[in-house]
């Protein structure tokens, strides 16, 4: 399967004429009775070789992580407590990050394998983050000795987490500059959200009671960043669209989960008014998803709608078949949404007036 960004790259390289590429896009869209943008393409697999390489790379990263941790523990003579944990994180993190980078030089920079590229990015960013965090963990005994009496340990931990998150975001940026794997920007955005929350917690310890609202703000910020990338490529033909896809995927749980947790959806069986509110929120998310032509919000909030529907059926007396009825109703609704996505999206975008010009096109003619 070829992605839109690869098709655009073929045009830039002269392998296809712009007219041939446009004709191909129009043919595919016509055969599916929907504009290409509505397909929300992103490349995860270019072939079974992606899975083969990803499995091999995962085994190597696990092995070098263990070996690196053991080596640094021996060098630092750290056997017990936080020093042993810190040494393990430092050694394992350096080994995983370094190995991920070296493998990416071939499988990402040269071969452009999708799934291995994502795995190696996560390996590099995770390894860098583990290394930075390990430095703090290894030095906990020293930090505790130099802290003045009465110092707030939680605040110190929050500052450490903030610094670790900030440096991890820098590592993600360096990786992006070299390899430009689309998911990198989303990983960096999540690190920035973590840093911002860590900074606030370090300054205002009482903010730990505001975690859900803070996550919601971070999710909205990530969603706006995704929309900014989306609006630079409304026809979704370049890497920018892939970057936006992953940003939407990162933003969706940061928006949906705090909202429903603040409503107390999983605190017990919910009442009919609360279920109605959950359904109303899901309809709102569906409208947003249709307008921006991204489905991530619908997936992230699905569990809450399932629970609300299940609770209603359970309270009505259909205890044995509650799960079956829930699956039937929600599954049918989602399939209908998928089948009629294009006309429903056209209706949703039609309600937005001038704002519709900043959203992906709803007509196939826009691709010509």
44-64 residue pLDDT tens = 777 788 999 999 999 999 999
pLDDT at 91: 93
Domain annotation covers residue 316: yes
Domain count, the chain: 1
Domain annotation covers residue 212: no
Q: Could you identify the residue written with the tokens 């446009």? A: 22
Domain annotation covers residue 368: yes
Q: What is the pTM of this model?
A: 0.80
pLDDT at 94: 95
Boundaries of domain holding 343: 263-368
The CA distance from 308 to 265, in Å, is 8
Domain annotation covers residue 83: no
pLDDT at 150: 57
pLDDT of residue 368 exceeding 60, the answer is no
Q: Would you say 116 and 86 are in contact if contact means Cβ atoms under 8 Å apart?
A: no
Model confidence pLDDT, tens digit, residues 164-202: 888 888 999 999 999 999 999 998 898 889 888 877 877
The CA distance from 316 to 71, in Å, is 61
Domain annotation covers residue 347: yes
Q: Would you say 134 and 118 are in contact if contact means Cβ atoms under 8 Å apart?
A: no
pLDDT at 60: 97
Crossing angle of helices 239-262/4-13, nearest 10°?
Answer: 160
Domain annotation covers residue 147: no
Domain annotation covers residue 282: yes
CB < 8 Å & 24+ apart, contacts of 204-213: 205/152, 205/154, 205/155, 205/158, 212/258, 212/261, 212/262, 213/258, 213/262
Residues 84-91 have a mean pLDDT of: 89
pLDDT at 26: 64
Highest average pLDDT, of 96-100, 238-242, 279-283, comes from 96-100
What is the chain's percent helix, strand, coil content, to nearest 5?
Answer: 80, 0, 20
Residues 139-150 have a mean pLDDT of: 71
The CA distance from 46 to 113, in Å, is 7
Q: What is the DSSP string of 171-231?
A: HHHHHHHHH--THHHHHHHHHHHHHHHHHHHHH-GGGGGGHHHHHHHHHHHHHHHHHHHHH
Joined together, the tokens standing for residue 263 give 């409503």
Domain annotation covers residue 358: yes
What DSSP state is assigned to residue 15? S
The CA distances from residue 122 to 9, 58, 84, 125, in Å, are 25, 11, 24, 5
pLDDT at 138: 85
Joined together, the tokens standing for residue 106 give 């071939």
């Amino acid at each position: 399967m070829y992605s839109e960004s690869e098709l655009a790259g073929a045009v830039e390289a002269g392998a296809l004429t712009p007219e041939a590429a446009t004709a191909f896009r129009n043919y595919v869209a016509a055969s599916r009775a929907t504009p290409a943008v509505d397909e929300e393409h992103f490349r995860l697999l270019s072939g079974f070789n992606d899975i083969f390489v990803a499995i091999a790379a995962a085994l190597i990263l696990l092995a070098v992580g263990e070996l690196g941790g053991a080596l640094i523990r021996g060098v630092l003579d750290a056997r017990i407590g936080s020093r042993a944990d810190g040494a393990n994180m430092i050694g394992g993190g350096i080994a995983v990050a370094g190995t991920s980078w070296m493998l990416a030089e071939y499988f990402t920079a040269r071969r452009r394998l999708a799934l291995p590229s994502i795995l190696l990015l996560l390996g590099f960013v995770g390894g860098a983050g583990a290394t930075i965090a390990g430095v703090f963990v290894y030095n906990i005994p020293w930090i505790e000795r130099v802290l003045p009496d009465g110092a707030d340990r939680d605040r110190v931990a929050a500052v450490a987490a903030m610094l670790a998150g900030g440096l991890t975001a820098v590592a993600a940026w360096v990786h992006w500059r070299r390899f430009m794997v689309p998911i990198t920007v989303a990983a960096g955005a999540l690190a920035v959200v973590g840093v911002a929350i860590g900074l606030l917690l370090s300054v205002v310890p009482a903010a730990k009671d505001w975690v859900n609202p803070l996550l919601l703000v971070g999710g909205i910020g990530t969603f706006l960043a995704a929309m900014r990338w989306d609006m630079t490529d409304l026809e979704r033909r370049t890497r920018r669209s892939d970057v936006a896809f992953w940003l939407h995927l990162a933003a969706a749980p940061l928006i949906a989960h705090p909202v429903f947790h603040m409503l107390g959806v999983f605190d017990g069986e919910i009442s009919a008014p609360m279920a109605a509110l959950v359904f109303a929120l899901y309809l709102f998310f569906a409208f947003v998803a249709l307008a921006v032509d991204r489905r991530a919000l619908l997936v992230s909030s699905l569990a809450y709608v399932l629970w609300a529907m299940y609770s209603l059926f359970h309270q009505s007396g259909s205890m044995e078949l509650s799960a079956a009825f829930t699956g039937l109703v929600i599954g049918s609704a989602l399939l209908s949404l998928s089948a009629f996505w294009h006309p429903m999206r056209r209706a949703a975008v039609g309600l937005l007036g001038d704002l519709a010009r900043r959203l992906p096109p709803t007509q196939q003619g826009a691709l010509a």
